[in-house]
Structure 1
Amino acid sequence: MSTTPTTGNVIDYAAEFAGKTALVTGSASGIGLATARRLGRGGANVVIADYNEKGAQEAAETLKAEGLKAAAVAVDVTDPASVEAAVAFAVDTFGGLDLAVNNAGIGGASAPTGEYAIDVYNRVVRTNLDGVFYSMRFELPAMQAAGNGGAIVNVASILGSVGFAGSPAYVAAKHGVVGLTKTAAAEYAAQGIRVNAVGPGFIETPLLKEMDKAAHDGLVGLHPAGRLGTSEEVAELIVFLLSDRASFIAGSYHLVDGAYTAV
């Protein structure tokens, strides 16, 4: 049964996650930061976890200046011990773990599969796929220990459902994230822990803002919506899936892509 606070038939979004703790990886900027902020505005205790320790600290201070509850921790999602320590930090700092968003990822170089550098392939897969596995490996037991159920959202990509020439490592990793999501969902749904994935299209993040105009416009042209998405738009979908409003949604992969995959 849903425990979302309501006033009559109106959801109190400012208290939707009150008393819950959320860990968001890759949240010093972009989609991760937008999600952390949105969770904080819903009353959650938010742990900003990022490879960029200085960026994580600055992001946490920004959220606290906005009146939100936040803490920062450095994490290298390619290192299981680092991920385990980040999860332990969340539990020790706020008393448990209820929600997690596994968002950390990298892009990698562009080259045909037959020419793709093996070290780059391994680095992309370690970060984007192994990092999600390591994160769930330690988040799930923490949620089980708390005994209150929980919810996890893994950030895949539109490239978890289609190919993209020149990006074999990224595409393979994101397809893998979707598979991991479905497997974990089937394993833990009976324990009240829901696991879902989102597939953002190309989003206006700091990384894309560094592209030249022609390349940027080319990406825009791939989206029938006529624009790229925003981090906040992706965050709204993630937060919905974490909420009790999505209480019967588990093992699903939700696209937020301006119709990119529709054509």
Structure 2
Amino acid sequence: MNTTPNTSAGLGLLAGKVAFITGAGRGIGAAAARLFAQEGARLLLAARTEAQLKAVTEEVRAAGGTADHVVCDLADPAGVRAAVERAVDLYGRLDVAFNNGAAFVPPGPMDQVAQDDFDHVYAVNLRGPWLVMVAEVAAIRATAGTGAIVNNSSVGSLGANPELPAYGAMKRAVNSLTESAAVTYGPEGIRVNAVAPGGTLTEMIRTWEQDSPGLVERLKAHTPLGRSADPGEIAQAAAWLLSDRASFVTGAVLRVDGGARL
């Protein structure tokens, strides 16, 4: 196998690759869709809300990119498998995947987390990434042969998370799945990494701000760069990890947090 990264001038980071993105209707997932298409990937975008998916798909196409979409709830095992298979049906292969989709639960101490909320965040934020990774590995193995997967974690997974204990726990478990998958599938040439965003201006953090007024400013105060991230900045990190430029990187949980955890 040729392990030398392709650095030909004029080629995008993801030129020639088929990419599958979950949670692609808004926020970081939508930013990733725009960026990955600019970097040369053909896309299948997945999320629960068709109107949002359709809007992002049309935006990518209007900019000259190649994209389609499929409605997918990460809590539905059959739907997850069907979505990944759809990428292969459309493009004949799967090379890379960004598992970005996640659910949010109301913030609060652990004893105030409703069991239904805990079960939901488990089904979407932990079982969902496990299901989709299994399907993606099978698709990459059967078509492209080698490839890369990036899971979206959180800096909230790297230590105590008293405001979002269930969310943090699921994301920490995703880190473990990422590392285990990297060891398991590395010998086949399938790399698996994660990004761990800090405070990022998405719909999720705006919802959290409503429940905890002043949250965004508190996060900025603990961030050496002094600001929140734009969703596109997280997408840039994911694109690099999925690209051949990161050909010797696997099992990493890359903090993209403006120094917040230093």
TM-score, normalised by the number of residues in structure 2: 0.94
Unaligned segments of structure 1, at least 5 residues: none
1:114, 1:49 → 2: CA distance?
Answer: 33
- The answer for the alignment partner of 1:236 in structure 2 is 236
Amino acid in the other structure paired with 1:4: N
Write the mapping of 1:52-71 to structure 2, written as runs, cut at 5 A: 52-71=49-68
SS in structure 2 of the partner of residue 105 of structure 1: coil
Amino acid in the other structure paired with 1:197: A
Cα deviation 1:17-74 (Å, max 9, x = unaligned) = 2321000000111111111111111111011111111211111011000111100110
Alignment of 1:48 onto 2:45: yes
Change (3 A) 1:249 1:187: same
TM superposition shift of 1:13:
4.2
- The answer for the alignment partner of 1:23 in structure 2 is 20
Cα deviation 1:143-193 (Å, max 9, x = unaligned) = 000143000000000012112213111011000000000001100001000
TM superposition shift of 1:3:
4.6
- The answer for the alignment partner of 1:116 in structure 2 is 113
2:234, 2:14 → 1: CA distance?
Answer: 18
Tell whether the 8 Å contact from 1:19 to 1:44 is kept in structure 2 after alignment. Answer: yes
Change (3 A) 1:206 1:166: closer
TM-score, normalised by the number of residues in structure 1: 0.93
Write the mapping of 1:1-263 to structure 2, written as runs, cut at 5 A: 1-7=3-9, 12-14=10-12, 16-209=13-206, 211=209, 214-262=214-262
1:178, 1:195 → 2: CA distance?
Answer: 10
1:227, 1:137 → 2: CA distance?
Answer: 36
SS in structure 2 of the partner of residue 218 of structure 1: helix
Tell whether the 8 Å contact from 1:57 to 1:73 is kept in structure 2 after alignment. Answer: no
Amino acid in the other structure paired with 1:148: G
Tell whether the 8 Å contact from 2:199 to 2:216 is kept in structure 1 after alignment. Answer: no
Amino acid in the other structure paired with 2:128: G
1:70, 1:111 → 2: CA distance?
Answer: 39
Amino acid in the other structure paired with 2:167: Y
SS in structure 2 of the partner of residue 251 of structure 1: coil
Cα deviation 1:68-89 (Å, max 9, x = unaligned) = 1100110011111000110011
SS in structure 2 of the partner of residue 259 of structure 1: coil
Change (3 A) 1:6 1:223: same
Amino acid in the other structure paired with 1:221: A
1:145, 1:127 → 2: CA distance?
Answer: 26
2:165, 2:215 → 1: CA distance?
Answer: 20
2:46, 2:112 → 1: CA distance?
Answer: 34
TM superposition shift of 1:218:
2.1
Between 206-215 and 234-243, report the one with greater CA deviation.
206-215
Moved over 4 A (4+): none
TM superposition shift of 1:110:
1.6
1:143, 1:208 → 2: CA distance?
Answer: 33
